Amino acid sequence: MLTAISPIDGRYQNKTQDLSDYFSEMGLIKYRLRVEIEYLIALSELGLAELPPFSDKEREGLRDIYLKFTEKEAQKIKDIESVTNHDVKAVEYYIKEQWERLQLTHNKEFVHFALTSQDINNTAVPLSIKEAQKEVIAPKMNQLFLRLRAMEADWAEQPLLAHTHGQPASPTLLGKELRVFRSRMEKQWNYLQSLPIEGKFGGATGNFNAHYAAYPDIDWHQFADDFLINRLGLLRQADTTQIENYDQMAALFHGYIRWSGVAIDLCRDMWAYISMGYFKQKVVANEVGSSAMPHKVNPIDFENAEGNLGLAQAVFSHLAQKLPISRLQRDLTDSTVSRNIGVPFAHTLIASLSLLKGLNKIELNASAIERDLDQNWMVVAEAIQNVLRKESYPSPYEALKSFTRGKDRITKEDIHNFIDQLEVSESIRTHLKSFTPFNYTGK
């Protein structure tokens, strides 16, 4: 959409549109309808004389209200809201309007019975997060992990000059370096998946005041626990004010911040490796790298991912800091803030797709990697001095430091000449000469 203010619904709409079912205004309304209707059905199964059980056909008709929900119906609710100036009340009135269409004979005042709007919002939003993660975010994450695993396997034996502090350092293996990022990202993702998604359901101030006023003999706490677990797949926060505590949601957001931090680290390293020439990028015929320099193939996918990850972190951070804080039993600051919960998820999705695209476009430039290894024979000095330590050779670190430090370049011949001058046995000398930048990679 060219007139969209946010790139989420404009430039990147084709990447984020799957999230609209969960985090758009229509998505939120649909989840509210789902909670209201499932609650109404659950009430009817309590054996209340005033609310007998719905028939199978009636239950199907009620559930179709949210299962077959359309944009046209969503607009009807927005029209009601324009009069009520209350979004959840508009949902209640809409369901009551459906009563005659469904030919229900039940007391329609059991719609939204004894509830506050936050009983609906604080179950609808967590449920949307849970299902968006499962249906949209998780599949993209799994694709990303699979790609990294394939790269690990392909380059498991590829030696690579390490760069600690940006300087040549003891060689490593390219596959292993990618495994570091993949294992860190998977660990954070698995942590995210282990976090329980919770909701609040307890009436105007969390005590079921109205519920017990009407039906004092029902265990409403147990009813609410069962309703959230069995109908919505959420855990219920037993001790709340009018709104949910948001502590668990904040933990989830902080988990995404940590995952994004690892992903940013990967983006920057891939950018650096491309800059060093260790990776080439596949050329797409009609793409343009620069409006001025025809030769350029820029690492834009990694840059795009990094930028969107930063935005995701910033919004997740504010949500995690703000939402758990509310004046007394409730203020409205969480309402406008929570409407932006889908924003950092969208930026995370954009970033994941860009990162995956970037990883799919790179090709190994083994000659550049081998060139750098061959030009940095000084990195085997660590191996030499530690073998000499083992042999009780006097001051081996200092000897290697004097020989290697500050030199523009040290060749294989220089290393071997140094070894030949050492007062060690021939077998040790042979062992020391066996180290090269290509095989000194550990295990």
The set of catalytic residues is: 165, 290
Q: d(Cα 368, Cα 365) in Å, to the nearest integer?
A: 6
Rama region for 406: left / alpha / beta (φ>0; ψ in -120 to 50; rest): left
Q: Tokens standing for 88?
A: 């959840």
Report angle CA 4, 6, 12 to the nearest 5 degrees: 90
Q: For 319-382, give the DSSP string.
A: HHHHTT--STT--SHHHHHHTTTHHHHHHHHHHHHHHHHHHHHEEE-HHHHHHHHHT-GGGGHH
Please state whether beta strands 235-237 and 198-200 pair in parallel, antiparallel, or not at all (unpaired): parallel
Closest CA to 231 of 11, 17, 42, 439: 42
Inter-residue contact 170 to 162 (CB < 8 Å): yes
Inter-residue contact 115 to 144 (CB < 8 Å): no
Q: Tokens standing for 92?
A: 């209640």
Closest CA to 222 of 42, 51, 62, 44: 42
Q: d(Cα 237, Cα 123) in Å, to the nearest integer?
A: 11
Q: d(Cα 104, Cα 92) in Å, to the nearest integer?
A: 16
Q: d(Cα 323, Cα 385) in Å, to the nearest integer?
A: 56
Q: Classify residue 298 by its DSSP letter.
A: -
Inter-residue contact 80 to 90 (CB < 8 Å): yes
Q: d(Cα 121, Cα 421) in Å, to the nearest integer?
A: 78
Sign of CA dihedral 58, 61, 65, 67: positive
- Residue matched to tokens 């997060």: 129
Inter-residue contact 201 to 228 (CB < 8 Å): yes
Burial profile 380-392: b = 16 or more Cβ within 10 angstroms, e = fewer: bbbbbbebbeeee
Q: How many other CB atoms sit within 10 Å of the CB of residue 336?
A: 8
